[in-house]
Amino acid sequence: MTRARVTAGARLHFGFCNLSLARERLYGGLGVGLREPRVVLEAAPARNVEASDPVVRDAARRSVSLLSVPGARVSLRGGYPRHVGLGSGTQLALATHAAIARAHDHEPNVRAHASGLGRGGRSGVGVGTFESGGFRLDVGHPTERFTAKRPADGSWQVPPTGARHDLPEAWRFVVVVPAIEPGKSGAAEDDGMSAIVERAEPAIADEISRVLTQRLLPAAAEGDPERFGSAVSEIGRLNGAWYANEQGGTYRPPLGGIVDTLGSSSAITGAGQSSWGPTVYGLTTETSVEKARAAANRALDRAGVDGETYVCRPASEGARIEDL
| C-alpha span between 117 and 60 (Å, rounded) | 9
Owning domain of residue 67: 4-323
| C-alpha span between 156 and 150 (Å, rounded) | 9
Indicate which CATH number applies to the domain containing 125. 3.30.70.890
Q: Which helix (H) or strand (E) holds 146?
A: helix 143-146
Is the pTM higher than 0.85? yes
Each residue's pLDDT expressed in tens, for the chain with a length of 324 residues? 789 999 999 999 999 999 999 999 999 999 999 999 999 999 999 999 999 999 999 999 999 999 999 999 999 999 999 999 999 999 999 999 999 999 999 999 999 999 999 999 899 999 999 999 999 999 999 998 776 677 778 778 999 999 999 999 999 999 999 999 988 888 889 889 999 999 999 999 999 999 999 999 999 999 999 999 999 999 999 999 999 999 999 999 999 999 999 999 999 999 999 999 999 999 999 999 999 999 999 999 999 999 999 999 999 999 999 999
Q: Which helix (H) or strand (E) holds 295?
A: helix 289-303
Which residues partner with 137 through β-bridges?
Answer: 30, 163
Query: Of 130, 139, 135, which is closest to residue 157 (Cα–Cα)?
Result: 139
Number of structural domains (the chain) is: 1
Beta pairing class for 49-50 and 72-78: parallel
Query: Of 6, 32, 73, which is closest to residue 279 (Cα–Cα)?
Result: 32
Angle of CA points 314, 114, 68, to nearest 5°: 130
3-state secondary structure of 238: helix
Q: In what order do the strands lie in the sheet with 280-285?
A: 270-273, 280-285, 171-178, 307-312
Digit-coded pLDDT (tens) for 98-123: 999 999 999 999 999 999 999 998 99
